Structure 1
Amino acid sequence: MSTPPVALQDADVLAGVGVLEARLTGLGREEFARDVWARVPLLARGASDFSDLFSAAAVDELLSRRGLRTPFLRVAKDGATLPESSYTAPAGVGATVADQLDDTALWRALADGATLVLQALQRTWEPVAEFASRLGTELGHPVQANAYVTPPQNRGFDAHYDVHDVFVLQVAGAKRWVVHEPVHRDPLRDQPWTEHRAAVAEAAEGSAYIDTVLQPGDVLYLPRGWLHAAEAQGAVSIHLTLGVHNWTRHALAEQLAQSALALLRDDPQMRGSLPLGVDGPADELGIVRERLVAALTEADPAPLFHRARRGQARPAPLGPLAQLAAVDRLAPDTPVRLRAALEARLEGRRLTTRVGWLDLTGTELPSVVRLLDGEVHTADQLGLRLVDRLLRAGVLVPAGQ
């Protein structure tokens, strides 16, 4: 088999899974991309029932029975974040962990008007983790999930903006959202709202772009930079925030520059020392600029981009014991499939994934191309030796896992 002329990706990445339209916006991906994405807020009433993703019972389970530690939770009141020591405690006998969540302290904080923020639910609550992974696959940008639990007539944070896009999913209770236009459009990750604190405060006093109460099932999409503040109404409010960590042209420019600089390491003239007595860079800047422009023209940032993208999310969970059993019991009729959310790409004879890379032989390539369809295959269809190798690498998993 000849080397493929272009990179092949796994089916999940190419096809998407439709949660954007079915559960969040009612808009197809192309329509959302054309009219809404990174441009304007969008309010979708009654978009979906989110009780399968999260609930009050899930909050109690996470806070009292899962042994969570910081930073999986933060607590805010009156616009300020409370110190971790105020809501953590030692884990007790047999566990040398000093900062597990203290459910009694959290109950007292909530009763006193504090907002509880369960962070990184894509790592701690499976239904949310699966949903966030599916959305990230469809958008092509990594997604993080937080939950905000706010007692009635309280707000956790004053007006501010985020440096990532968000989908707000109202799960329980009601929350009033007041949204204002940006004072700093499309902020980068290192341009937080605190750099524009005075302008944010002034803008928050003006006419709102959106002033509405979200009820269970409603969804609000906010591009990064849009100001917002939210206050619970007559009952405890629980909402999920799906934070979309946008890839930007600036980030791509950074990777292009890194790739160009890597090329210049192989240029003997660029490795040379500046002449003695050089007073400032003016005498040498012309040469450097010329070589840098040439390197930028030649550089390919794609490998660095894909490596960084893979590193910003995690593959689907893998059970070590189930994986060990699959290797030990491998037989011709063993059903296997590509591990989900692996961001697998076949470039020439190299398979790159979120768990590493493998170089393949020419006889293995057709089977790996088949694997990228995401369907279930038996070991004899793919080759026992290849399946054993990919199971041990964590690329394949038993079909039932």
Structure 2
Amino acid sequence: FFRIMGKRRKANGDSLAPKRQRVHLSPHVIESHNGGLVQFPNIQSVLAGGTATKENCDAILEWLIAPLAVDEFFEKYWEQQPLVIKRGNPKYYAGLFSKAELLRLVAKEGYRDFTVKRFDRALGHRVNYTKPCTKAATIEKVWNQGWTVQVVQPQKVADTLCQLLAGLEEVFQCTVGCNAYLTPAKTQGLAPHWDDIEAMILHVEGTKEWRLYHPDKDLPREYSKDFKQDQIGPPYLTVCLEPGDFMYFPRGVIHQARASDKFSHHLTVSTYQKHAWRDLLSVALPQALDAAFEGDIEFRRGLPVDCFRSLGAGHACGTSLRREALLQTLSSLLDKLKGYVDGNAAVDALATEFVGRRLPPAA
């Protein structure tokens, strides 16, 4: 049994900084009282089929967002609005990564691929821990002092997690990354910000309160600065995630999270970083220009000697016949350029780059 509840909050007196582009989102919370266990077994069973076929990889995404159907996820939520799935199953993500595993790696194998930071509320931005932090005892010490440990790409040392991400890469046809965030009780590791990726939050241990805010704009390309509280207004969604819970939000959604009364550990699975039409065009258009230059003498002709005297910002208000003629030539060349665009070659170039960077499939 599960139900979907709209959780959009109407803020009274909501006021944001001038000229902010308000993007209204309608997040949903799914409460599943069987933890997805009836139809979806544990991740080890799902991964037993491997990640070499599309069918097996589709099953991995199905497990990740259960009990929501994959088609519904893409139709209603992907790049559109946040989603929270409350499962009531604290063992749902067992075996992916844990605080105990991090401490073991540091103590036994000298693992160092992590950073230590905290959000300084008085300063309004994150602060990095600069002293050496190379022993498990030191990690425990900085935790007790309120510092968050961010483990960078833990799939490099966690086989099950690596298989999970490899399967998702087959689904999304895009590289998939992951960071782990281990935060002491009643503390916050990062300032309010937005990400440049599609974010999937897998809550593994403890509890954490998340607050989501309206983005400046839809689907930004770059990671944001740290925001101060008076720059983002009130949250439109506040939710406490517990072990086994899942949350998704599109790139651009401003968010912050604070551990509750217990230590918190979640995995942020990320994808679609710089994977937009703009990125395909950035490959296709240079290819088309090269082909047009070789195939059409009009692209090889030099600029008219009066080009700078007729075009440019200083002449933008002009209406001379010469200016109009030059603009018409430019427009004609752009129309011709369309005929040289080879979408297949551009996609092949991006796909080749993806194959070179992606995780290896499970044996």
Q: TM-score, normalised by structure 1?
A: 0.64
Are the aligned partners of 2:178 and 2:269 in contact in 1 as well (CA < 8 Å)? yes
Show CA shifts across 1:212-239 (max 9, x none): 1111000011111112111111221110
Show CA shifts across 1:328-365 (max 9, x none): xxxxxxxxxxxx38xxxxxxxxxxxxxxxxxxxxxxxx
Show CA shifts across 1:80-133 (max 9, x none): 555574235xxxxxxxxxxxx454543332221111111122333222111111
Partner of 2:299: 270
Partner of 2:336: 294
* Equivalent position SS for 2:212: strand
Partners of 1:293 and 1:255 in 2: how far apart?
18
Are the aligned partners of 1:49 and 1:217 in contact in 2 as well (CA < 8 Å)? yes
Partner of 1:78: 119
Query: 1:63 deviation in Å?
Result: 3.2
Partners of 1:66 and 1:311 in 2: how far apart?
32
Partner of 1:396: none
* Equivalent position SS for 1:78: strand
Partners of 2:104 and 2:254 in 1: how far apart?
32
* Equivalent position SS for 1:193: coil
Partner of 1:44: 85
Show CA shifts across 1:48-104 (max 9, x none): 7111211222221333334344xx32221125555574235xxxxxxxxxxxx4545
Are the aligned partners of 2:114 and 2:149 in contact in 1 as well (CA < 8 Å)? yes
Partner of 1:176: 209
Partner of 2:15: none
Structure 1: 5+ residue stretches without partners: 1-9, 89-100, 318-339, 342-400
The residue type paired with residue 117 of structure 2 is A
Query: 1:255 deviation in Å?
Result: 2.6
Partner of 2:283: 255
Partners of 1:292 and 1:102 in 2: how far apart?
60
Structure 2: 5+ residue stretches without partners: 1-50, 312-322
Partner of 1:4: none
Q: Which moved more, 1:298-307 or 1:236-245?
A: 298-307
Are the aligned partners of 2:169 and 2:358 in contact in 1 as well (CA < 8 Å)? no
Task: Report 1:2-401 matches (<5 A).
Answer: 12-13=53-54, 16-46=57-87, 49-69=92-112, 72-79=113-120, 80-83=125-128, 85-87=130-132, 101-188=134-221, 190=222, 192-194=223-225, 197=227, 201-203=230-232, 205-206=233-234, 208-246=235-273, 247-266=275-294, 267-276=296-305, 278-280=307-309, 286-312=328-354, 314-317=357-360, 340=361, 401=363
* Equivalent position SS for 1:251: helix
Partners of 1:26 and 1:12 in 2: how far apart?
22
Are the aligned partners of 2:280 and 2:350 in contact in 1 as well (CA < 8 Å)? no
Structure 2 CA distance for partners of 1:250 and 1:112, relative to 1, 3 Å: same
Structure 2 CA distance for partners of 1:37 and 1:295, relative to 1, 3 Å: same
* Equivalent position SS for 1:75: strand
RMSD of equivalent CA atoms: 2.9
Query: 1:134 deviation in Å?
Result: 0.9
Are the aligned partners of 2:201 and 2:266 in contact in 1 as well (CA < 8 Å)? yes
Show CA shifts across 1:262-307 (max 9, x none): 2233144423433556535557554344233322233113333333
The residue type paired with residue 170 of structure 2 is T
Structure 2 CA distance for partners of 1:85 and 1:308, relative to 1, 3 Å: farther
Partners of 2:167 and 2:156 in 1: how far apart?
14
Structure 2 CA distance for partners of 1:305 and 1:61, relative to 1, 3 Å: farther
Partner of 2:13: none
Q: Which moved more, 1:123-132 or 1:233-242?
A: 123-132
Q: Which moved more, 1:10-19 or 1:47-56?
A: 10-19
Structure 2 CA distance for partners of 1:14 and 1:51, relative to 1, 3 Å: closer
* Equivalent position SS for 1:265: helix
Are the aligned partners of 1:43 and 1:221 in contact in 2 as well (CA < 8 Å)? yes
The residue type paired with residue 250 of structure 1 is R
